[in-house]
Each structure stands twice: as structure tokens, then as C-alpha cells.
Amino acid sequence: MSNTLILLVILGLGVLGFFAGRARAMATAEGDRRNLHSLPNYYGANTALNAVVPAAVALAVWLIVQPFIINNSVSDMIDQGAIAEGSSLGLIMSDVRRVAEGLDVAVAQGAMTEQDASDMQTGFTDVRERLAEVGVALGSGVSAETLLAAQRYREMAWTGNWLKTFAVIAIAVGGLVLTWRVITRDYRARNVVEKGVLTVLILAASIAILTTVGIVLSLIFNTYEFFKLYPAADFFFGLNWSPSFSGRGQSSQLGILPLLWGTLYISFIALVVAVPIGLFAAIYLSEYASKSVRAVAKPMLEVLAGIPTIVYGLFALLTVGPLLVDVFGEGGMLGVNWMSGGTAVMTAGLVMGMMLIPFVSSLSDDIINAVPQAMRDGSLGLGATHSETVRQVIIPAALPGIVGAILLAASRAIGETMIVVLGAGAAARLSLNPFDAMTTVTAKIVSQLTGDSDFSSPVALVAFALGISLFVVTLGLNVFALYIVRKYREQYE
Amino acid sequence: MKDMIPVDRKMSTMQDSKISARGVQVYYGETHAIKDVSVEIADNTVTAFIGPSGCGKSTFLRCLNRMNDTIDSARVSGDILIDGEDIYDPRVDPVQLRAKVGMVFQKPNPFPKSIYDNVAYGPKIHGLARNKADLDEIVEKSLRKAALWEEAKDRLDKPGTGLSGGQQQRLCIARAIATAPEVLLMDEPCSALDPIATAQVEELIDELRQSYSVVIVTHSMQQAARVSQKTAFFHLGNLVEYDDTDKIFTNPQDPRTESYISGRIG
């Protein structure tokens, strides 16, 4: 039976269990639900859960374990000495599996009988030819040993599948019957179902956490590979970034500092733009704007946050960059020649700042609104003007939260990619001139891994080292932001 | 400063009223919250506003320093004169007015600043101190008047929010006194305090009478009887009765006042 079918059977048993459990509960309560410990549906759900969950878990485990067992027992059949030069057990095993699948297909299409498939011998039949007839192409002729192994493989898989079907359905039926039998009017089905709900919640939380752990681990292992090929000191302290794709990475210089400098410089400019504008917008919206203005302006500002960053990138490339060149470039309005092309730190920084405005303003607005009205009343009652109240009472009271908002915006700026790719250029450079083209860690990760990348060369693996460096920086910022927000959260209570 | 006023001006000179309200009406949107209230509040007197919840006593109190201006939907009509000057005249700056008419709120609301900065806040924004020494003096004097100096003098640089509830409320009183007001409005100043802190604040209110005209809104009739010389009873937005406290509590003229005081309504 196929796995889908087994699953459907289990689910069917679950539905059956639901109604059976519910009916039995009602029966023990003499038809009056008030005599039951839990609502009738809980008894049904409890029975259904006990039928479905253990069986589904058993199915999943079986699906993982069975191939291992079959592989091990079949590979024992293959003589270690018979493995040809340049081949390996793994390759032979994949041949075996391929032949086994081919035989399955042939039987399914009626080109062979089941008997033929299990009794066939290389001495009498050209297996390769016969399989080619049914559309299964094999790379080379099939040796006697491989065919035997494949036949053994099929046999075991067939037995395994039947065992699996019986075992899983037996577990489902067993779960159903056992639960059904213990149902009495005092059985605490509600508490059992609650435990099931709790398990689901815990699973959801662990998946989120485990994903993070998995991402970090994959970064760490690849970074470790990278540092085996490229000295860590050169990576962390190198002042040059010039990967050489052709020379197998031998002549590459992969220093993170120019990229880190570009990242921090662009983020700094972005924050210089976003923090005052966002903060002032938040103060206006939360303190001065009338209800009707606020109802329109706040969603408008938040629309900015919904624009895809690639669109900001286009805006940087096509509008802001040329505009800046007109002002600061050669023959520009100021008569200075600081800027040679549209892509520059300034271009990316300005546009990224615009992108961050809603982050800062929206979070700060919430935080300012959370300052109790009593603070405002107290200050106004002492004869302070509105702006004195804002400056001297509300902003200080909201400051920890605002700092948190800024740090979150900063970590967002550091991780930003598309605006940088389009707006800042691709040249890794250590320069103080904000009108120079520079690049960032994220943009370089993209360019190292786009196209054909060979994951054994440092030029590609460096992306993981860059990634983990970036991760550490933004993680540090986030932890710091959370610490600040937590530390001062309860100040006015 | 105002505490130089001779103390012998007592209840006998009732005609020199500090605040006189005439025909005051307050609307919150469509709701008519205060209906034609006229009242004369004397200097160096504690005047208590009593009445059931929602009767408009706090609303009326907030009219006296134009705190209702901060509520968009509130409209005030009628005349309120302080020292003969109409405070709703367009020439009057509500900010200046609030410096002259201090306010203490129901819940202690110290700023998240040090104790010193809390008290110095008003003097600083109104430029009452020429230098640091001046400011120090104002802070000390205000804290002394609010009976908080002994407890707070060693921790002036600690946050005001770290004080106990009763201390916080006295800090708020000190903060209000520091701007040298002439009138002190108190909106249920003891409702968030325990009995001991309440007793301390009440004692303080009685002392403040020497220098200020104090108007206190309270839910507790015992408190009104203890601290005030004059009492006004509000009911459903009307000023029902306004007289000497003794008279209100012993011989009320209006049956509604009598019912409220004896616990039959409210």
C-alpha cells in the first residue's frame, strides 16, 4: 500500500475514532452530557488523537529507518573486493537501487511478470536491454552481483512495505480501541486533549528555535571549511577584497574590512537620515496631529515599510543617484567633482534611510503613546508648554524604547541587500568620501554565490564567513536593543 | 514670595475671593457636564468639592487652570476670574495661568527623573531661579513645605519613581509648590494612598492653607470635613450647595446634600 493510502486509512480511523469515542462517552453518561467530566467532543478528539498520532509517528519513523536497514543488509551481499577501481560502495548501491526501480517499473508495465523479475539471471537475459524497453536507462551493463542485490533489495522492500502497512494500521486500530475502552463518564478527556494542544504549541516553538540553530550550524560548518582554505587572520584583518574566480582562489585577497566599512558607512548615513525624520514624524503624529490627520498619515507612512526593497533599489539607481551626480558630480550645481557615478555610499544611504523612516517612526510612535497621560498632565499642570513637555518629559520617558527602535532599524540597515546592490556599486573600497562607490557584506555574499559556484573554493565559501560575521554583528545589536528596552521598560510604573 | 502674606486674614474677610466663577457651563461633545455653576473661592482657605462619581467636580476643577483645553471635545463657557482677571480671556496664556494655578493629580505622577529634577522642573521652565544656588534653595524649600525634605534630602539624585506612593504624592505637591503658585488644585490627591500617607497629606494641606488658596476634590466626606473650611456639593453637573463645611455637614439646606452626606445617594 502506498504511504498516502496508509495515511488516509489512519485519518479515516481517526474520524471513526472521533465518533466512536463520542458515542461511547454519551452512552456511559446515559445520554446526558451533564454527567460527563468533559464535553463529548473531547472524548471524540481524544480517541481520534490516540488513533492518528502514534500511527503517524510510527509511519514517519518507519519511512526513515527502513531504507537504512535494507541498504545495510544488501550492501553486505556485495563483495568489498569486487568494487572496481574508481568506484565505491555508494556508487554500486545506487546502481542496485536503480535496477530495483527498473524492475518495479517493468513489472508495473506488464513487460515482465513478478516471477520473471525475481528469477531473472544475467546469464540468460540482458537486463540492460530489457529495462531499456520499458524506458529505464542504465549507465552500464548489469553484473550478476548487482542484479542479485537488486532482486534482494526488491524482496526486502516488498516485505518491509507490507510489514509497515500492517504495523501502522495495527497501531492506529490499537490506539483507537484502547482509548475507546477506557472511556467512562469520569475519564478526563479534556485534560488529555489539552496536553495534546500543549505538545503542538511546544513543537511549533521548537521548530522556530531549531531552524535558527540549523542555520547557525550550517554557517559555522561552511565557515570552518573556508578557514581551512584561507587564513582567518587575513580574512578578518585584510584590507583588500579582490576575489579571483579563475585562479581557484589561490590569488584571491578576501579581507572583510572594506566590506564591513562599506556596510557601517552606509548604515550610518541611513540612520542619520532615518532617526531624526522618523522621530520627528513620530512626535508629530503622537503628540500634535489631530485624530483625522493621524488616521490618514500613519497608514501612509507605514506604506513605506511595505515597499519591496528592490523598488527602493531602482529608485536609488534611477532617481537619487543621477540627482546626486547633478549636484556633486563634475559640472554639477556646486561646481565640485566629488562624485563620478550615480552609485555611491550616499545614494544607497539616503534611500535606505527613507526605507527605515517608517520603522523608527512607527515603533517610536507606539512607545510615545505608551507614556502615561498622567506625565503629560503633570507637566502641563506645572505650566510647561506642549513642546517643553515633549522635550523634557515625554522623550526622556520614552528614550529607552526609542533607542531600542533605533537599534532595530540599525540591524535592519546592516542586513539590507538590494538597495546596496543597485545603489552603492560593487567596488570594495576603504574610503572616507561618501560619494565613492563602495559595497557591503550582503552585496558581496550575493555576488560570490551568483552564477556557477564551486563550493570547494574559498571564493564561494567566503560567503558563509561573511554571513556569520554579519549575523554576529546584527545579533549583538538585537541583543543590546532588547537589553536596553527591558532594562528601562518599567520605569514609569 | 507668597508665604509672606499675613496669616490674620481669616474667614471673616470672605468678600475678597480669590476665584470667582459665574455661570460656568462645560460640554464634552454633546454631554453637558457642568450646568451653570457659580462659586466664590476665598484665599487662604481649603475648599472641598464633594459629590458622587461623574458629578462634574473634577471637570470643574480642571476648568480653573484650563486643563480642559487639552481635551479636544471640551467646551467651556461662562466667566472664571482669578484676582478679578478672566482666565478664559484670549489674552491670557494658559501656560502662564497654570504656573499660577498649580495642580496635583489623583495618581502620583512623578516624572521619570531624579527627585531634585522633579521639583526643579517648574522653576527651570519658568526661569524662577537666577543660578544653581537659587534653584537649590527653591527645591529645598518646596520639599520642606511638602514635608518630604527629611526623607528625601539624602537621595535627591535618586529617581522620583523610587519613592513610596505617599512620598510620591508629596513630591508632586512639592513640585507644584515650587513654581510659586497662588492657587493649588488637588484632584482626589489621596485616593491612591494608604491611611497613614493620607493623614500626612491632609496635615500638609492644612499647612498649605497659610500660603495658598487650596481647592480639593475628594470622594471621602470625612476628608472634606477634616481638611476644608468651605464645601461645595455637586450633583449631576449642578452645584447643589456651597457653604461653610461645618454647615454643610451639620445642617445642609438641600435635601440632596443631606441624602448624600447621610449615605442615601451617591
Query: Which residue from A291, A372, A377 is facing B67, i.e. has the nearest CB?
Result: A377
Q: Looking at residue B174, which CATH number applies to its domain? A: 3.40.50.300
The pLDDT, as a whole number, for residue A453 is: 67
Residue ranges for chain B with pLDDT beneath 50: 1-14
pLDDT digits over A190-233, tens only? 998 999 999 999 999 999 999 999 999 999 998 998 898 888 88
Higher pLDDT, B38 or A84: B38
Which chain A residues are Cβ-neighbours of B162 within 8 angstroms? none
> What DSSP character marks residue A80?
G
| B6 found inside a domain | no
Confirm or reject contact between B67 and chain A (CB < 8 A). yes
3-state SS class at A97:
helix
CB-based contact B67 A376, cutoff 8 Å: no
Mean pLDDT of chain A, nearest integer: 86
Confirm or reject contact between A395 and chain B (CB < 8 A). no
The pLDDT, as a whole number, for residue A86 is: 60
Grade residue A489 by pLDDT with cuts at 50, 70 and 90.
low
A229 burial type by CB count under 10 A (0-12 exposed, 13-18 middle, 19+ buried) = middle
pLDDT digits over A367-412, tens only? 899 888 888 989 998 989 999 999 999 998 888 888 888 988 998 8
Residues A405 and A360: beta-carbon distance below 8 Å: yes
The pLDDT, as a whole number, for residue B11 is: 42
If phi over 0 gives left and psi between -120 and 50 gives alpha, with beta otherwise, what is residue B78?
left
pLDDT digits over B11-42, tens only? 444 456 889 999 999 998 888 989 999 999 99
Query: Counting runs of H as helices and runs of E as strands, what totals does chain A give?
Result: 19, 2
Nearest CA to B238 out of B75, B7, B25, B8 is that of B25
Q: SS3 string of chain B?
A: CHHHCCCCCCCCCCCCEEEEEEEEEEEECCEEEEEEEEEEEECCCEEEEECCCCCCHHHHHHHCCCHHHHCCCEEEEEEEEECCEECCCCCCCHHHHHHHEEEECCCCCCCCCEHHHHHHHHHHHHCCCCCHHHHHHHHHHHHHHCCCHHHHHHHCCCEHHHCCHHHHHHHHHHHHHHCCCCEEEEECCCCCCCHHHHHHHHHHHHHHCCCCEEEEECCCHHHHHHHCCEEEEEECCEEEEEEEHHHHHHCCCCHHHHHHHCCCCC
Among chain A residues, the shortest Cα distance to B65 is held by A381
pLDDT digits over A129-174, tens only? 777 777 777 766 677 777 888 888 888 888 888 999 999 999 999 9
| B10 found inside a domain | no
**Most A CBs within 10 Å, among B64, B109, B124, B173, to test the A interface:** B109
CB-based contact B109 A396, cutoff 8 Å: no
> What DSSP character marks residue A245?
T
**How far apart, in whole angstroms, are the C-alpha atoms of residue B149 and residue B132?**
18
| B9 found inside a domain | no
What does the pLDDT average to over A316-334?
86
**The total number of structural domains that make up chain B:** 1
Q: Is the dihedral of CA A466, A470, A472, A473 positive or negative?
A: positive
Q: pTM for this structure?
A: 0.73
Which residue range(s) make up the domain with B102? 15-261
Inform me whether the pLDDT recorded for A338 exceeds 60.
Answer: yes
Which chain A residues are Cβ-neighbours of B99 within 8 angstroms? 382-383
> What DSSP character marks residue A385?
-
Q: Which of residues 171-190 of A touch B (CB under 8 A)?
A: none
Residues B256 and B52: beta-carbon distance below 8 Å: no
| B120 found inside a domain | yes
pLDDT digits over A58-69, tens only? 999 999 998 888
**How far apart, in whole angstroms, are the C-alpha atoms of residue B252 and residue B238?**
16
ipTM of the complex: 0.84
Name the architecture of domain A236-489.
Orthogonal Bundle (1.10)
**Domain ranges in chain A?**
3-187, 236-489
Nearest CA to A8 out of A59, A42, A64, A46 is that of A59
The pLDDT, as a whole number, for residue B185 is: 93
Per cent of chain A over pLDDT 70 is 92
What are the cell numbers at A437?
562607490
Side by side, which strands form the sheet with B74-82? Answer: B31-42, B17-28, B74-82, B85-86
**Most A CBs within 10 Å, among B68, B101, B121, B139, to test the A interface:** B121
CB-based contact A375 B97, cutoff 8 Å: no
How many residues in total does chain B contain?
A: 266
| B43 found inside a domain | yes
**How far apart, in whole angstroms, are the C-alpha atoms of residue B106 and residue B201?**
13
Q: Which of residues 120-179 of A touch B (CB under 8 A)?
A: none
Among chain A residues, the shortest Cα distance to B97 is held by A383
Tell me phi and psi for residue A287, to 5 degrees: -105, -35
Residues B242 and B232: beta-carbon distance below 8 Å: yes
**How far apart, in whole angstroms, are the C-alpha atoms of residue A205 and residue A197?**
13
Tracing cell 500492517 back to the chain, one arrives at A166
Query: Which residue from A291, A380, A393 is facing B70, i.e. has the nearest CB?
Result: A380
Identity of the amino acid at A409: A
| B162 found inside a domain | yes
Residues A332 and A326: beta-carbon distance below 8 Å: yes
| B251 found inside a domain | yes
| B129 found inside a domain | yes
The pLDDT, as a whole number, for residue A87 is: 66
